[in-house]
Amino acid sequence: MTMMRLRREDPRVVGNFRLHRRLGAGGMGVVYLGSDRRGQRVALKVIRPDLAEDQEFRSRFAREVSAARRIRGGCTARLVAADLEADRPWFATQYVPGPSLHDKVNEEGPLSAAQTASIGAALAEGLLAVHDAGVVHRDLKPSNILLSPKGPRIIDFGIAWATGASTLTHVGTAVGSPGFLAPEQVRGAAVTPATDVFALGATLAYAATADSPFGQGSSEVMLYRVVHEEPQLMAVPDALAPLIHACLAKDPEERPSTLQLSLRLKEIAAREAHGIGEGRPPSPRREPDRPSARRAAEYERQRTERRPGSSPTPRPGPAAAGPAAQPAPAGPGRPAHTRPMPGRDAARAGARTAPGARRTGPDRGLLRQRLIVFVVVTLLVALGIAAAQGCQGPSHSQGHARTAPAHHSAP
């Protein structure tokens, strides 16, 4: 939170508090950093002189401060002290160290879906305590949310719009960000807890996109959009967009209750934190796991063994012994099998088939031997056939030629 030196016109002591710095100024007055005699730091707001002269404002202000005293919960800045009868009424709340949500987003950019949902769940829980005390915040916006080390804190609850019917005359000064006003506030209608739900929806949209859901423009343009146009939520993560859209319904009756909003945001925050959010564009999707080459080869081997008409193929081992088998084509997961050989040849075969050794096909020496045997046998068979034909070929053919006509001419 930005601090500024005290100006000449600023008071130095208010009530039992000594003032040290300016924390800011708003539609109701100026906020100071103060401390009491024990060193407890407070944020003390002094009401503007013109509002202090308005008796209706004083009465309304007194009722709101009385209700604020009853608020319990860790998500709000606790009211410490107030003087409603002073020339310029004032109240002091617990000082919350940390930047506002507006400043954080403005400096660092949009928050993630998980961060937005987590902050929103805490704020919704804080609003539950505010509403249970009979108070409606009326001015919930990013600059009224402080991000302390212990979690977000709501400030200025139930006071900024204490003027009631004069809402529109103070839009430019009391709020400063008309894009966070609910339509009923713009029309001057009664506010309800649903009014804060609308403001929280707009605040969460800002946290997730770094912009108001109704864009930018003059106060008049922004107020018109709030009442007549739909919010722009294209940049909001899918995990949050439906809920935020429901919060920004024009009709207060169509918005979720504060309790429903709190429960839903907690669910989203838990899911996003564990990386299982539904439809989160900002979160990268994991590619499906692809099997390695070894797993693919093993799968292919098992699939081949299960194929109809095939028999299980034993894995090769050192000096494997077994019945003779025909050579099989080598391939992934299908080692070639050879006939076992005794003595030295068997030892060499065992060395070739040791575990981990790469085998690309049958042994070349064995293939050469089989090829020679095949050629020799083929030549011997061919020579035998030729010799047989040479011994009895001519007489057989002539005899056959002489007897064939007599056979066919027989009656």
**Residue 38 in 3-state DSSP?**
coil
> How far lies 189's CA from each of 79, 112, 152, 186, 195, in Å?
28, 35, 29, 8, 11
d(CA 92, CA 82) in angstroms, rounded, equals 6
Contact 323, 357 (CB under 8 A): no
Phi, psi (deg, nearest 5) at residue 374: -60, -45
Q: Which residue in the list 83, 103, 139, 289 is annotated as catalytic? A: 139
Contact 359, 336 (CB under 8 A): yes
**Residue 21 in 3-state DSSP?**
strand
Residues sharing a CB contact under 8 Å with residue 216, sequence separation 6 or more, in sequence order: 222
d(CA 299, CA 283) in angstroms, rounded, equals 33
Please list, residue by residue across 126-140, b when 16 or more beta carbons sit within 10 angstroms of its beta carbon and e when fewer do.
Answer: bbbbbbebebbbbbb
Name the burial class of residue 231, with classes exposed (0-12), middle (13-18) and buried (19+) by CB atoms within 10 angstroms of its CB: buried
Copy the structure tokens of residue 126.
């804080």
The 10 Å Cβ neighbour count of residue 29 is 19
Question: Does 250 belong to an annotated binding site?
Answer: no
Active site residue 139: yes
d(CA 171, CA 186) in angstroms, rounded, equals 9
Residues in the chain: 411
**Residue 331 in 3-state DSSP?**
strand
d(CA 182, CA 161) in angstroms, rounded, equals 13
**Residue 112 in 3-state DSSP?**
coil
**Residue 77 in 3-state DSSP?**
coil
> How far lies 305's CA from each of 208, 295, 362, in Å?
56, 16, 20
User: Which residues contribute to the annotated binding site?
Assistant: 45
User: Which residues contribute to the annotated binding site for ATP?
Assistant: 45
Q: Which residues are catalytic?
A: 139
